[in-house]
Structures are given as C-alpha cells and as structure tokens.
C-alpha cells in the first residue's frame, strides 16, 4: 500500500523525506518519487523499484528546499513505471500531489478534464486530482481549490499537495486511507503511518475522513471540507518503532486479519453498486468475459491458500453460472498434460503473481490456446502480465507469510465474477439477484462483527494450545474453509499437525484417529447441509473428540453439540467462507501465539514461492 510523506521545516528536505519513506517500506511498493519546492520552482524525481534507486538519483542531481512531498507507490491503476510513479503534477508543473487509495470516479473526471483542455501523462487515477485543483485555481485561492477538488472525489484517498504558489504550506486530506500529521520542534510532517516520523516526533494529530489540513512549520490547521475550523489536540505516541510498524498489533498477521473489512471494501470498490444492484468490471475484463463461449470450460489453477480460494470459486461458478469448473493445484496442472483448447478459460489465482508453478501453468495454458484470467493482488506482477485479463484484489500488501486478507479478497473477487456471469447468462435476476448483491455489499460489515469474537476465540485457543493434532471439517462452501483453517494452523505453528477434510469423508478413514479430547474445528454455519454437518459433529463426539464449532449467530440448538462455540454473523451460504475464515484465522493465530511461534516468519516458508 502506498506510503506518503510531507515535510515542512529547516532540515535537509530530500534526506528527511527519504528517511521517512524508508520507514514506510514495510507497506510494500514498486516505485518512489519526491517533489521539492525551491527557488527554481518544483523539482520532481521518480524512480521505479526500491528507494535506493531514488536516493541514487538524488545523489546525482541533488535537490535543496525546505518543503516537499514524497511517495512510495504500490501500483493499482497503471503499471509500476516511472511515469505512473507519484508525485503527479498539473499541466503547468506548479503543483504536485501524492495519493494513496483508489479514486472511484476518476474515469468520468478525466473525461471532463480532457474536454477542458488538460493533458495527462500517466495511466493513474491519481493524476486527475492535480488537474482538478488546477481547474479550481482559475477561480479560487488554493485552500478553497483544494477543498473543492476533494469534494469531487468518490472512493478512498489520502492526498498531500505542494504548490509553487505556497512556499510555506502543504495541503492534505484523507477519506478511508490513512494520513496523520506529526508536530515536531520547528518542523511538521504528513505521513501515512506513525513509524515514518517516530524518530522526529511523538506528537501526532490523527485526521478523520473528510477533513482538510493546511500544514505550516507552526503546525496543522484543520477544517471541514466547507472550510469550518476544527480544533484537535495532538496525541502522544507511547509505542516503540517495532510496534508502530505493525499499527500497534504484535504481529503483521494480526494486523492483516484486522485489515480485512477495509481490504474487502477495496476489492468491491468500483465493481459492486448495491444502490443500482449492479456488478461490473473494468473495460478490458468485461471484454474478456464477453468472449467466453456458451459452453466454456473453466480450469482454476493456484497453490496453497490461493488454491483453497479456487475451490470456493468452483462451488460458486458451478452453482450460479452453471459452467463446468475444475480446480487444479498449479504444480500438478503443469505436469499432467491437461486438455486445453480455445474454449477453455484458465483462472489463475495468486496473491503475489510470482508463484513459479502458477506462472508455469499459465504459460502452458497459453501455449495450448486457452484464455487466461488472473485474480491477483500485485499489479504488474509476472502472472498478471502473462494474462489476457486481470481482476486485481486491491487487498494491499500482505507481509505475514500466512495469507489472510489476500485469501478473503480472492474469494470476494470470485464472488464478483460469479455474480457478473450469472446475471449476464440469465441465471440470476429479480429478488435473488438483489439479495446476493446486497449480501456481498454487507460482507465488510459482517467481517467487522466476526472480529468482535476475538477475546472468546483467544480463550478457546488457550484451552487447546497444548494439543498437537487438529482436524478441520466442513461441507460444501466450507470444505475449503476447513482446508484453509488447517493450513493456517500448521503453517504458523510448526509444532502442530492439522488436516482439513470434507466432513463426509471422516468416516472413510480419518475418524480412526479420533480419541479422547482430539480437537476438531467444525464449520457448521447456516447452510443447505447444516443437518449433515451436525451428524458429523456427533460422529466425532461419539468417539470423545472435542468439537470447536463455528456456527451462525442465533443458532441456539448447536450449543449442545459443541465443546466450544464460536459464532459468526449470518450470511448467504455463498459468502459464508469469507466470514467463517475470520475465526479460523484468529484461532490459528492465538494457538501459535500461545506456543511462542514465530508467527510472521514461520520456519521453512517464504512469502512468495518463486522456485519449483
Ligand atoms: C498462504 O498462507 C501461504 N503462504 C501459501 O500457501 C500461498 O498461498 C501460496 O504459496 C501461493 O502464493 P500466491 O498466492 O502468491 O501465488
């Protein structure tokens, strides 16, 4: 996720900004840039890749000044190129901005600005903001122009602006993307996150959505977007640097678990419109989906957690689109001589877009004439580039090795794809269609509710932390939840062996191991197979196994079947794997934590598996 820094003060400005940006590196990025104001005007430097490249550029061509902005970009709109890197300037080159988030209505704003004669250089959604302010500057002073431009934006943003007309002030604002103000001695900062400025000041002003800030060396001046002053005292930060990087959470994994409501919002953004009961994709993806044959065959390929998302996708697409789907582990697919032709679409699912087996599968499928649609989190990654169309999950960088928000955002992207195709092919309409659209729009709120059960989950995890074998069971949409729950636990707690099964398979073998106190996590949420799952619970309990049941809120009858009960909000069965994943992630996290495991960097595992 992009990192933003703004600086007003008397320290060497490019060094200060570079240093602050380097403290935001954990957020992930693929290019970086800086804009500094001095007697020559605004000077901008950008480089793709790591900050080192930008630092070298600044060494070769130093820029002096006392006010400036900097940015590390994690590409969302437009590939990670130098042109797309921030800061972006207006037509006159006298104002520059940095942005984090997604401007939902950028296409319509761009069309309007093009008609007004503005010239664009990048493919980003961000650049429109510079031109929008430029346009308002024709009739308004800069503070008003900045606020008027903000009012035009739909979507999420944290923005900071520097203007050659204002040598002593920066302007900043946020909506659903992070931005804070640091107030130091004789210097002030904007930053995406506290670690950027912690070495210089512990005095922080937290900003709320739809507030505008003018920042001078004396401090911030906050107003509403109408210009009404807001008073806010700075907060003193007590965390150390390591804790601050994790937003106060002890591990990135826990931070990322808690980021899921926002991550899913980003996946849905611009694609799901509950008010208009509409699901849509960008032009290229829609064009791709329009070429699918009536008898198209789909093969989903992926590895690990992404494979589990693929299994959910299989259930979704077959039930609602009535399209035949096979799901394959990419490492098997690439070597099993699969049957492929022009009427086959291969859907590759990958967080990193760099997994060697998935990439090889994509290349093989292409050679045999299949079409490739990728669901991916990293823009411009190798698999994204090798594909005919890409649905980006926009979940933000995932740092913990164990995938959490990447998984739920992949399942969300598959739900969007399913709804889009089901509507297009006439399998869904009227009330059922609206119910599913509303259900999907509700998912971020339901995840927030599911997260509330954290204290109870922690207590249950403490109870079972000494166990060394776990089973996970589910049926239909929650078979993959069981597989993923077991993977999460064994991944981050290597002391434990955990297996996930389709609950109906228990009696065909695994049940032989069940003995007194053997913990079995069962997903028994509201579904068409609920009664069957309850029977499976009883089969386990008859052998004295202990069932940790994840059930829907309001299901009182389940209590007598559960040794420990975790409840999650009710949802349509199709979305239940997203909601049920939350307690399962938290359970794995707290069991591993109680066992003193290295949660973010488990032994023998890598975040991105770029070798066979
Ligand atoms: C998830 O917790 C794992 N770290 C792993 O299974 C991962 O999902 C797999 O390696 C695939 O990675 P990708 O999504 O980046 O392709």
Q: Tens digit of pLDDT for each residue in 296-352? A: 999 999 999 999 999 999 999 999 999 999 999 999 999 999 999 999 999 999 998
Protein residue whose Cα sits closest to atom 16 of ligand 1: 350
Instruction: Tell whether ligand 1 has an atom less than 6 A from the beta carbon of residue 383.
Output: no
Q: Tell me, yes or no, whether 387 and 476 share the same domain.
A: no
Q: Tell me, yes or no, whether 477 and 563 share the same domain.
A: yes
Strands 546-552 and 564-568: parallel
What local confidence, expressed as pLDDT, does residue 29 receive?
Answer: 83
Q: Tell me, yes or no, whether 185 and 126 share the same domain.
A: yes
Q: Show the CA angle centred on residue 610, arms to residues 607 and 612, nearest 5°.
A: 120
Distance 608 CA to ligand 1 centre (A): 7
Mean local confidence (pLDDT), 236-251: 77
Contacts 24+ apart (CB under 8 A), 45-52: 46/82, 46/85, 46/86, 46/87, 47/82, 47/85, 48/80, 48/81, 48/82, 48/85, 51/18, 51/21, 51/22, 51/25
Protein residue whose Cα sits closest to atom 8 of ligand 1: 305
Q: What is the pLDDT of residues 284-305, one digit of tens each?
A: 999 999 999 888 999 999 999 9
pLDDT at 253 over 90: yes
Q: Reduced to 3 states, what is the DSSP secondary structure of residue 244? A: helix
Of 196-200, 359-363, 432-436, which gets the smallest average pLDDT? 196-200
For tokens 């694609």, the residue is: 271
Which of 441, 476, 493 is at the close of a domain?
441
CA gap 344, 95 in Å, rounded: 49
- The string of DSSP codes covering 144-159 is HHHHHHHHH--B-EEE
Half-sphere exposure of 477 (CA within 13 A, CB side): 27
Q: Measured in whole angstroms, how far is the alpha carbon of residue 400 from the centre of its chain?
A: 13
Whether the CB-CB separation of 56 and 99 falls below 8 Å is answered with no
- Which residues make Cβ contacts (< 8 Å) with residue 93, sequence separation at least 6? 41, 42
Domain holding 163: CATH number? 3.60.20.10
Of 14-28, 306-320, 357-371, which gets the smallest average pLDDT? 14-28
Average pLDDT, the chain: 94
- Atom from ligand 1 closest to the CA of residue 305: 8
What local confidence, expressed as pLDDT, does residue 588 receive?
Answer: 98
Domains in the chain, number? 3
Torsion of CA 375, 378, 384, 389, to 10 degrees: 50
> What would the two tokens of residue 543 be?
């052998």
Residue 220 confidence class, pLDDT cut points 50, 70, 90: very high
Of 24-28, 115-119, 522-526, which gets the smallest average pLDDT? 24-28
Question: Quick check: is 607 catalytic?
Answer: yes
Q: Measured in whole angstroms, how far is the alpha carbon of residue 424 from the centre of its chain?
A: 27
Q: Measured in whole angstroms, how far is the alpha carbon of residue 396 from the centre of its chain?
A: 4
Q: Which residues constitute the domain of residue 205?
A: 3-243
What local confidence, expressed as pLDDT, does residue 151 receive?
Answer: 97
Mutate to test the pocket of ligand 1, among 403, 483, 592, 601 (most ligand atoms within 8 A of CB): 403
For tokens 């107003």, the residue is: 223
Residue 155 confidence class, pLDDT cut points 50, 70, 90: confident
pLDDT at 79 over 90: no
Q: Tell me, yes or no, whether 9 and 137 share the same domain.
A: yes
Q: Tell me, yes or no, whether 556 and 515 share the same domain.
A: yes
Instruction: Give the range with max mean pLDDT: 176-185, 224-233, 379-388.
Output: 224-233
Alpha helix stretches (DSSP H) within 168-234: none
Q: At what angle do helices 260-268 and 405-424 cross, to 10 degrees?
A: 30
What local confidence, expressed as pLDDT, does residue 601 receive?
Answer: 84
pLDDT at 244 over 70: no
pLDDT at 399 over 90: no
Q: Show the CA angle centred on residue 385, arms to residues 371 and 31, nearest 5°.
A: 160
What local confidence, expressed as pLDDT, does residue 289 receive?
Answer: 96
pLDDT at 136 over 80: yes
What local confidence, expressed as pLDDT, does residue 308 receive?
Answer: 98
Instruction: Tell whether ligand 1 has an atom less than 6 A from the beta carbon of residue 608.
Output: yes
Whether the CB-CB separation of 382 and 353 falls below 8 Å is answered with yes
Alpha helix stretches (DSSP H) within 335-429: 356-367, 382-385, 405-424
Instruction: Tell whether ligand 1 has an atom less than 6 A from the beta carbon of residue 329.
Output: no
What local confidence, expressed as pLDDT, does residue 604 receive?
Answer: 83
Instruction: Tell whether ligand 1 has an atom less than 6 A from the beta carbon of residue 576.
Output: no
CA gap 498, 557 in Å, rounded: 28
For residue 105, with 0-12 CB atoms within 10 Å meaning exposed, 13-18 middle and 19 or more buried, which class applies?
Answer: middle
CA gap 497, 487 in Å, rounded: 9
pLDDT at 129 over 70: yes
Distance 196 CA to ligand 1 centre (A): 29
Which of 410, 441, 472 is at the close of a domain?
441
Q: Tell me, yes or no, whether 145 and 28 share the same domain.
A: yes
What local confidence, expressed as pLDDT, does residue 127 receive?
Answer: 96
pLDDT above 90 covers what percent of the chain? 84
Q: What is the pLDDT of residues 533-582, one digit of tens each?
A: 999 999 999 999 999 999 999 999 999 999 999 999 999 999 999 999 99
Q: Measured in whole angstroms, how far is the alpha carbon of residue 393 from the centre of its chain?
A: 6
Whether the CB-CB separation of 257 and 404 falls below 8 Å is answered with yes
The pTM (predicted TM-score) of the whole model is 0.78
pLDDT at 177 over 90: no
Q: Tell me, yes or no, whether 508 and 566 share the same domain.
A: yes
Whether the CB-CB separation of 217 and 188 falls below 8 Å is answered with yes
Strands (E), 62-210: 67-73, 88-89, 95-100, 157-163, 170-175, 180-183, 187-191, 203-206
Strands 235-236 and 325-329: unpaired
Q: Reduced to 3 states, what is the DSSP secondary structure of residue 376? A: strand
Instruction: Tell whether ligand 1 has an atom less than 6 A from the beta carbon of residue 404.
Output: no
Q: Tell me, yes or no, whether 198 and 324 share the same domain.
A: no
Which of 423, 441, 459 is at the close of a domain?
441
Q: Tell me, yes or no, whether 193 and 73 share the same domain.
A: yes
Domain holding 578: CATH number? 3.40.50.10490
Q: Tell me, yes or no, whether 284 and 324 share the same domain.
A: yes
Q: Tell me, yes or no, whether 422 and 493 share the same domain.
A: no
What local confidence, expressed as pLDDT, does residue 243 receive?
Answer: 67
What local confidence, expressed as pLDDT, does residue 185 receive?
Answer: 93
Q: Tell me, yes or no, whether 512 and 532 share the same domain.
A: yes
- Atom from ligand 1 closest to the CA of residue 401: 4
Question: Quick check: is 488 catalytic?
Answer: no
Strands (E), 261-381: 272-273, 278-279, 297-302, 325-329, 344-350, 371-376
pLDDT at 612 over 70: no
């Amino acid at each position: 996720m992009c990192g933003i820094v703004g600086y007003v003060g008397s320290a060497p400005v490019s060094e200060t900004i570079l240093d602050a940006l380097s403290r935001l590196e954990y957020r992930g990025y693929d290019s970086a840039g800086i804009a500094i104001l001095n007697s020559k005007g605004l000077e901008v430097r950008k480089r793709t890749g790591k900050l080192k490249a930008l630092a070298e550029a600044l060494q070769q061509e130093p820029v002096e000044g006392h006010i400036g902005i900097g940015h590390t970009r994690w590409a969302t709109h437009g590939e990670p190129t130098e042109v797309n890197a921030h800061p972006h300037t207006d037509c006159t080159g006298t104002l520059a901005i940095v942005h984090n988030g997604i401007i939902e209505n950028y296409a319509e704003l761009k069309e309007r600005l093009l008609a007004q004669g503005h010239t664009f250089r990048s493919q980003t959604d961000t650049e429109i903001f510079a031109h929008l302010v430029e346009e308002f500057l024709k009739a308004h002073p800069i503070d008003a122009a900045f606020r008027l431009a903000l009012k035009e934006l739909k979507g999420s943003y944290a923005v900071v602006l520097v203007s050659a007309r204002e040598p002593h002030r920066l302007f900043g604002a946020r909506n659903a993307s992070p931005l804070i103000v640091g107030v130091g001695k004789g210097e002030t900062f904007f930053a995406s996150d506290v670690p950027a400025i912690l070495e210089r000041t512990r005095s922080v002003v937290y900003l709320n959505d739809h507030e505008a800030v003018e920042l001078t060396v004396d401090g911030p001046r906050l107003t509403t977007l109408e210009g009404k002053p807001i008073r806010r005292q700075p907060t003193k930060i007590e965390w150390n640097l390591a804790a601050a990087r994790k937003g106060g959470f002890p591990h990135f994994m826990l931070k990322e678990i808690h980021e899921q409501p926002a991550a899913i919002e980003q996946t849905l953004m611009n694609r799901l419109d509950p008010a208009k009961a509409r699901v849509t994709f960008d032009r290229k993806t829609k064009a791709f989906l329009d070429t699918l044959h009536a008898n198209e065959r789909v093969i989903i390929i992926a590895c690990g957690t992404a494979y589990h998302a693929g299994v959910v996708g299989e259930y979704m697409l077959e039930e609602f689109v009535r399209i035949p789907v096979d799901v394959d582990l990419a490492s098997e697919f690439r070597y099993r001589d699969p049957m492929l032709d022009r009427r086959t679409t291969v859907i590759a699912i990958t967080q990193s877009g760099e997994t060697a087996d998935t990439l090889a599968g994509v290349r093989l499928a292409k050679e045999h004439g299949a079409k490739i649609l990728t669901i991916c989190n990293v823009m411009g990654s190798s698999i994204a580039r090798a594909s005919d169309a890409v649905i980006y999950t926009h979940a933000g960088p995932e740092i913990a090795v164990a995938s959490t928000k990447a998984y739920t955002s992949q399942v969300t992207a598959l739900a969007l794809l399913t709804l889009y195709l089901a509507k297009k092919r006439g399998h869904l309409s009227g009330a059922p269609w609206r119910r599913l659209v509303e259900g999907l729009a509700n998912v971020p709120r339901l995840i927030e509710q599911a997260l509330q059960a954290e204290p109870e989950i922690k207590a249950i995890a403490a109870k079972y932390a000494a166990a060394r074998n776990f089973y996970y069971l589910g049926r239909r949409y929650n078979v993959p939840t069981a597989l993923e729950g077991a993977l999460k636990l064994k991944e981050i707690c290597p002391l434990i062996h955990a297996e996930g099964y389709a609950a109906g398979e228990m009696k065909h073998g695994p049940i032989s191991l069940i003995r007194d106190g053997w913990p079995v996590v069962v997903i028994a949420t509201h579904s068409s197979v609920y009664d069957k799952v309850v029977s499976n619970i009883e089969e386990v309990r008859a052998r004295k196994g202990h069932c940790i049941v994840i059930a829907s809120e309001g299901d009182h009858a389940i209590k007598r079947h559960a040794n420990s009960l975790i409840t999650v909000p009710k949802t349509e069965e199709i979305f239940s794997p997203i909601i049920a994943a939350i307690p399962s992630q938290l359970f794995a996290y707290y069991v591993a934590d109680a066992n003193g495991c290295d949660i973010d960097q488990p032994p023998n595992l890598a975040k991105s598996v770029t070798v066979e």
